[in-house]
Structure 1
């Protein structure tokens, strides 16, 4: 395994190279650390404990991941599974392209204005609650708390979670005066809970 990237590879190409080396998947944190260790010039080489640095590094990586996923779909060569705790290449499946059509996270990360317009104050509020817990490995509990289902007396089912998701999206959609960051958290929470309750 090489210690540095060779040539003038884009971040997308560097990420693809690392994913090829980790067939069983790699976490977002490991991916960032490996990119830094191999001297990638496409992400900040600063301490991740600074909230704005963490956000920008995360955003740039996920922007590259969603672009790579689109490229793989178009080439019908593979499917890229994207989640903070496990990013991995899977065999291409016909029909998976439809997943990209209504993917709010994809839309968020492919819009570079979110990288440009998000302030340190915005990031600190975001990281103070949901996101820090997600990256700390408490994703299911953080998602349930965001949905206010962690104390639910009802048995949790995917149907109940989807109903709550629709309510929250309706309440917090930017078109109705909500915030993009809150909607992004809701969408990620839904993605996480689908994995646990499908």
Structure 2
């Protein structure tokens, strides 16, 4: 067994011992233990990104190999990585897969620095948290994304209407005006 195939074989052996599958986190921990390392993952975000990237790079290569050899199928997801019986009719491997393409291109690993990882994490958390914030802000301004094209100009127009209607100088409520202002600030982050 060559040095390059050793991690792949270890990974395959670990997956064979867990027919129900393993999360990425559990798989990284087990690989670390198997290699005699710490029983915890790196805390540095760049180091953690590199561990994640190398794992997924190896997983996609392994999946391609198993499929080519008609041995098994490999389900790859951060929440569940597991071996499945070979399915000869899989069309997924013949279609273009952006994630597979990303992880098989090692320039992404080489060219990604700590600032890039921080930006990716920031964008992830913004999307995760932002969906709820954005919907709440749209509701506050009484706007619906589903009703045609919604752009910053339309949002500003609705904002001005509501400010005019709810301004305390015109008999409106200060708290409502603050909610409207906050909603506008939120939506400006999404509609630039």
Q: How does 1:29-68 map to 2 (within 5 A)?
A: 29-39=25-35, 47-68=41-62
CA apart distance, 1:39: 1.3
Match of 2:71 in 1: 77
The alpha-carbon distance between structure 1 residues 51 and 20, as it changes in their structure 2 partners (threshold 3 A), is: same
Taking the TM superposition and a 5 Å limit, the aligned residue runs for 1:157-196 are: none
Aligned-pair CA distance for 1:91: 1.1
CA distance in 2, matches of 1:69, 1:51: 26
Which whole-Å CA distance do the structure 1 matches of 2:6 and 2:135 have between them? 41
Q: For this pair of structures, how many residues does the alignment match?
A: 139
- For residue 114 of structure 1, the aligned residue among 102, 108, 117 is 108
Q: Residue 195 of structure 1 corresponds to which residue in structure 2?
A: none
Report the TM-score when normalising by structure 1: 0.59
- For the Cα contact (< 8 Å) 2:33–2:39, is it kept in 1? no
CA RMSD of the aligned region, Å? 3.5
C-alpha separation between the residues in 1 aligned to 2:131 and 2:62? 32
Over 3 Å counting, the alpha-carbon distance change for 1:75 and 1:34 in structure 2 is same
Residue of structure 2 aligned with 1:102, choices 96, 112, 122: 96
Does the CA contact (< 8 Å) of 2:29 and 2:39 recur in 1? Answer: no
Distance 2:34 2:2 in 1: 12
1: CA distance between counterparts of 2:135 and 2:67? 35
Structure of higher CA gyration radius = 2
Instruction: Please list every run of 5 or more consecutive structure 2 residues that lacks an aligned counterpart in the other structure.
Output: 147-192
CA 1:77–1:127 in structure 2 vs 1: closer, same or farther (change >3 Å)?
same
What's the secondary structure of 1:48's corresponding residue?
coil
Corresponding position: 1:13 with 2:20: no
Tell me if the contact between 2:73 and 2:86 (Cα under 8 Å) persists in the aligned partners.
Answer: yes
- TM-score normalized with structure 2 length: 0.61
- Shift of residue 128, structure 1, vs aligned partner: 2.7
CA contact (8 A) 1:65 1:82 kept: yes
What is the rounded CA distance, in whole Å, between the counterparts of 2:40 and 2:115 in structure 1?
18
